[in-house]
Amino acid sequence: MDFSFTPQEEAFRQELRSWLEANLPEGWLDGTFAINKETKEYELFLRDWQRKLYEGGWAAIAWPEKYGGRNATLMEEIVYHQEMVRVDAPPLVNYVGIHMVGPTLMHIGTEEQRERYMKKMLTGEEVWCQGYSEPNAGSDVAAIQTTAVKEGDKWIINGQKVWTSFGHMADQCFLVARTNKFDKKHKGITCFLLDMHQPGVETVPIIQMDGQHDFNEVYLNNAVATDAQIIGEVDEGWRVIIALLMHERTGIGSQVFTVEKQYNELVEVAKSLREDGEFVIEQPLVQKNLVDLYMKTKGSLLNYYRNLTKSLKTGQPGAEGSMDKLQVSELTKELLAQAVSLQGHPGVLWKEDAVAGNSYWQDNYLYSFGQTIGGGTSEIQKNTIAERILGLPKDMGR
């Protein structure tokens, strides 16, 4: 297997590097830029960054040019992710819209829907969230209880969603609701493009154990949608859900580059910390753990490349995205736990009490538990891998 990039791909890399150097916020590259992530200012900062990406042609490089993209190849997407990770670029506030809803609209939506929604996804004018999980229907999306009932020319939606990423910032929601009851629970589901700025929608923050606010509960009390806001066919939303999830898990898999970067940073931590007068990296157990993590990190990267090769041949993401998602989320948690452990007793300190007031590893470790849930739990990914890749029989308990 040839891991080298072509001259054209390297030219693409240099173009992106030059743009990032010229457009990243002042102080970003030297680490002096600071902003409180729990403020409205941070949301506006992310929206401004999204617009800047759009204006530079970097908001959704894989999208067709007619929709505001660059028709980038899969390999150019790899270069893009590598470079964004290299500079630890600001997060994409419209990740759900660009990586999930937009591609789904391209394949299943109407031309009117593409015209109405897609440009505003790119510019950051409209941020999207995803209304899947419910209190009694987490990983089992088909068990949803939120209902949509047709009244005249409108659909009246009632129910509750939970763990809604970006819900507190969102203008639109890709929402699934039950529109009919059939013997098979995967039928009778419809997907709506729901306006979040209406009286029947209430968003309540969920404060995580790391003190951050990334997830939300969303209460729907006679919220309204129209036929024009349905994507796909009424009662046939399951195939739309599957299409969107394929794009979601493929995007999550690209986080393998973040894991690779964090591993290299972890090695530097081991080289800098001392215990009983010696650097901890000299300890045999630490060396063994680092070697184990190195093998897992490289294995995840190579597996990601293998799955990418299949996507290059088929032109569509497949169930292999579940392999990437499972590996990345579980390995991230393991790697960050090792980073905290290496610090010894100071590893339990947090925020301003942490060494030099820097709780980077602690913050990310606490957040990593959510990564094994978001985008489908690790247990669900294992079922998908077993059934759709290995061809094993379905779990009879489900």
Name 230's bridge partners.
192
Q: Reduced to 3 states, what is the DSSP secondary structure of residue 310?
A: helix
E-assigned strands of the chain?
128-131, 147-151, 154-161, 172-178, 189-195, 201-206, 215-226, 230-231, 274-275, 278-279
- Residue in 249, 226, 232 with CA at minimum distance from that of residue 105: 232
Q: How far apart are CA 88 and CA 55, in angstroms?
A: 20
- Distances in whole angstroms, Cα of residue 345 to Cα of each of 69, 340, 341, 354, 357: 49, 9, 8, 10, 15
Count CA within 13 A, CB hemisphere, residue 306.
Answer: 10
Task: Give CA torsion, residues 372, 378, 381, 383, to 10 deg.
Answer: -160
β 154-161/230-231 pair status: unpaired
The answer to whether 45 and 36 are in contact (CB under 8 A) is no
Task: Give the active site residues.
Answer: 248
Distances in whole angstroms, Cα of residue 29 to Cα of each of 41, 56, 350: 20, 19, 24
Mark residue 335 as left, alpha or beta (left: phi above 0; alpha: psi -120 to 50; beta: remaining): alpha
Burial 81-120 (b: 16+ CB within 10 A, else e): bbbbbeeebbebbbbbbbbbbbbbbeebbeeebeebbbeb
Residue 209 in tokens? 């154990």
Tell whether the torsion through CA atoms of 36, 37, 40 and 41 is positive or negative.
positive
Tell me, rounded to whole angstroms, the distance of Cα 50 from its chain centroid: 16
Token readout for 284 is 């045999």
Q: What is the DSSP pairing of strand 201-206 with strand 215-226?
A: antiparallel
